[in-house]
Amino acid sequence: MINTIIVKDYDEMSEKAAEEICKVLSCKKNAILGLATGSTPIGMYENLVKKYENGNIDFSEVKTVNLDEYVGLEKDHDQSYRYFMDFNLFDKVNINKENTHVPNGNAVDMEEEAILYEKIIDSLGGADIQVLGIGGNGHVGFNEPDDKLSLYTSVVKLKDETIKDNSRFFDSIDDVPKYAISMGMASILKAKKILLLASGENKAKAIGELLNEKAVTTKNPSTFLGLHHDVIVIIDEKAAKYVKR
């Protein structure tokens, strides 16, 4: 079931998202957090760091599992998702880095890495809450619209529109990796709760399809979230442009 919260803007979305994470941590100190990268959750991480600095949350027993990683970037490349997570959260709170998991995009055998990563998710028992952004094309993680969607963690070829969207973070579009490793749809749906965030008009079409159509389609992978029993969608007014109220 999807519960939708429409807020004014990015800042309010970020505050509300951090509150949802805090609710989970207040019930379970050793929660498993499923985390996402991209521009959308940065404000949520800022709020979480503030709450940590004010003594309101404690990450000492938390474990994390991230959605995805580019293939071929070094871990310390400033666009790698491991770097993103260290910079935006892990280096700023009292988390034990050994308890943080991001797929290795530089493994010698990427197929083997995908299998190992899915085993990590299972050994943790799935995330207590999985944070998701959404692509303008409806992708979640790097599960791109297609005839088929992967169930489990796998190596995926990025769509041209995703490469173009993400090129804003790189010096040139040619520098954007063409492949990534991503949790699959079933890996995501293993989470006990899912928190999807979206801000801005470029997400409005995908969000409209997710919330209005009450059907699943591989053309918009986010629609598979409708199969989960506990999803919270927090979106701002611009992303909610086409949502029927």
Beta sheet of 179-182, edge-to-edge order = 68-70, 179-182, 154-157
Q: Among 34, 105, 133, 145, which residue sits at the site for ligand PGA (rule: CB under 6 A)?
A: 133
* DSSP-derived pairing of the beta strands 154-157 and 129-132: unpaired
Active site residue 144: yes
Lay out the site mask for ligand PGA across 37-66 (x = CB under 6 A, - = otherwise): -xxx--------------------------
Lay out the site mask for ligand PGA across 61-100 (x = CB under 6 A, - = otherwise): ----------------------------------------
Active site residue 76: no
Please tell me the distance from the alpha carbon of residue 124 to that of residue 145, in angstroms, as a whole number.
28
**35, β-bridge pairs:** 66
Structural element, H or E, at residue 236: strand 231-236
Nearer to ligand PGA, 99 or 177 (CB): 177
Q: Among 134, 194, 206, 240, which residue sits at the site for ligand PGA (rule: CB under 6 A)?
A: 134
Q: CB of 165 within 8 A of CB of 133?
A: no
Active-site option among 69, 99, 139, 143: 139
Stretch that binds ligand PGA, among 112-120, 131-139, 152-160, 234-242 (CB under 6 A): 131-139
Q: State phi, psi for 236 to the nearest 5 degrees.
A: -90, 170
Number of residues forming the site for ligand PGA (CB under 6 A) = 7
The position carrying tokens 């990450």 is: 59
Active-site option among 118, 128, 144, 165: 144
Q: Which of 237, 239, 232, 241 is nearest to 17 (CA)?
A: 232
User: Smallest distance, Å, CB 163 to ligand PGA?
Assistant: 11
Q: Which of 46, 48, 44 is nearest to 58 (CA)?
A: 48
Give me the active site residues, please: 68, 137, 139, 144
Give contact residues for ligand PGA (rule: CB under 6 A). 38-40, 133-135, 139
